[in-house]
Amino acid sequence: MADTDTQQVDRPEGAIPDANVTVDRPGYPDEVALEGDDNIESELMTLNMGPQHPSTHGVLRLELKTDGEIIEHVRPHIGYLHRCFEKHAESLSYPQVIPFTDRMDYLAAMNNNLAYCLAVERLLEIEIPERVEYVRVIICELNRLASHLVSFGTYGMDIGAFTPFLFAFREREDIFDLFEMTCGARMLYNYIWVGGVSHDFPPGFVEKCTAFLDKFEGKINDYNNLLSYNKIFIERTANIGVLPVDKAYSYNLTGPNLRGSGVKWDLRRDDPYSIYDRFEFDIPVGSGEMGQLGDCWDRYMVRIREMGESVRIIRQALEQMPDGDVHKAVPRNVRPPKDAECYTRSETPRGEMGIYVISDGSNVPYRVKVKSPCFTAISAMNFLTRGHYVADIIAVIGSIDIVLGEVDR
């Protein structure tokens, strides 16, 4: 059984940079104050953005209170994609829940599968075969690539660059081809099972995957030249939506959003689950290169750099992968002991996903609770956008990379 110990791990020394970042916001609140003329009645305008809006990455409705062009308050209204995942899970047997976890964060379904399976495996206390662990790591990191590609592509499109979107989706297509030849599905896989995976890699997978990685590594440079270092893009994202470290902690942001603020915190390294402790990889963090630490550009760049790290992990895993049977440890009947409960967390492309499962001894979970990284990220929306221009909301939403399917579940 993988080590998914839930005890608190101390954040390493020096991981937390100086938190005294002053947030520079255009024109709020001092300059906005009306000058002198008491006769002018001024009131805030309420503006609805969404739910049908191309840049809200799903169905998110934002209620904006604006003072002219300046945002005074943002309130996200969620729930448009609510599908009762947690309640639904209480009426399905443990393996039957897995297809529903796919549909939470549909851009990184493999990582969701893994998060749930880790929890159930911990309840059952089963030993996972070596090969399965490697297969899972490879598949999850590939999915992380696919997810970050979408985030990168759509972010470019939100800001007004269409080409990166097409480039990103072209590479994502190759990843989906790998998934399709492995498990038959392109987006919603039901691939990682409790105790194993549904199919072993087909013959030719390793070669095809290596060929893809070779091709992809060069592409990251292209993305940087095309979008990351483009002056217009930098102007739109640098110094926008600055998130100081202390705020990032108090909003409980995780994943690339937290790392964008300069915190070296990644569960794959700091609380390793599965076999992530066997691989060498760096954790990219934001450094305020283009503006202030923790701005949109930093969060964006963390994702781009993480893609390179994922490629490194996949290469190592492909090299070390042993042979074996992927179905050996799949239990015939998933029946955790009575009153067992556990909380496991894992690093999905959007941050820390925690799954809490309580068993009542039957083959149906008594309770499944999901701690969703996007849900906490969206709570910072008001802080991030306050005092910016309306147009900057788009840049902020894209940079925290939310998937509404996971916010609402």
Partner 1 sequence: MGRYFSNIVQSISTIWTGMNITLKHLFTPSITLQYPEERWEMPERARNQLFNDIDDCIGCDQCARACPVDCIYIETEKVGEDIDLGLTSKGTKKRLKVLRFDIDMSLCCYCGLCTYPCPTECLIMTPHYEASVYDRTDLLYKYAKPWEYDDLESADASKDTDKEAATAG
DSSP for 115-169 reads HHHHHHHHHHT-PPPHHHHHHHHHHHHHHHHHHHHHHHHHHHHHHT--HHHHHHH
Under the binding rule (CB under 8 A), the answer on residue 222 touching partner 1 is yes
Contacts of 337 (CB under 8 A, 6+ apart): 123, 359, 361
Q: Judged by CB, which is closer to partner 1: 78, or 117?
A: 117
Q: Cβ closer to partner 1: 140 or 183?
A: 183
- The CA distance from 117 to 197, in Å, is 10
Q: For residue 362, give the amino acid letter.
A: S
Please answer whether residues 340 and 153 qualify as being in contact, where contact means their C-beta atoms are separated by less than 8 angstroms. no
Q: Is 63 exposed, middle or buried (0-12, 13-18, 19+ CB in 10 A)?
A: middle
Nearer to partner 1, 183 or 374 (CB): 183
Closest approach, Cβ 180 to partner 1, in A, equals 5
Q: Which of 15, 16, 19, 92 binds partner 1 (CB under 8 A)?
A: 92
Span interacting with partner 1, options 76-84, 226-234, 238-246, 259-267, rule CB under 8 A: 226-234
Gyration radius of the chain's alpha carbons: 22
Restricting to residues 135-174, name those near partner 1 by CB under 8 A: 163, 170, 173
Count CB-CB contacts under 10 A for residue 297.
27
The verdict on 76 binding partner 1 (CB under 8 A) reads no
Which string of x and - marks every residue 178-197 that binds partner 1 (by CB under 8 A)? --xxxxxx--x-x-------
229 belongs to the binding site for partner 1 (CB under 8 A): yes
Q: Is 333 in the site for partner 1 (CB under 8 A)?
A: no
Report H helices in 224-295.
231-237, 245-250, 256-260, 267-270
Sites for partner 1 among residues 237-266 (CB under 8 A): none
Does the protein bind partner 1 through residue 68 (CB under 8 A)?
no
| Contacts to partner 1 by CB under 8 A | 92, 95-100, 102, 163, 170, 173, 177, 180-185, 188, 190, 198-199, 202, 222, 225-227, 229-232, 235
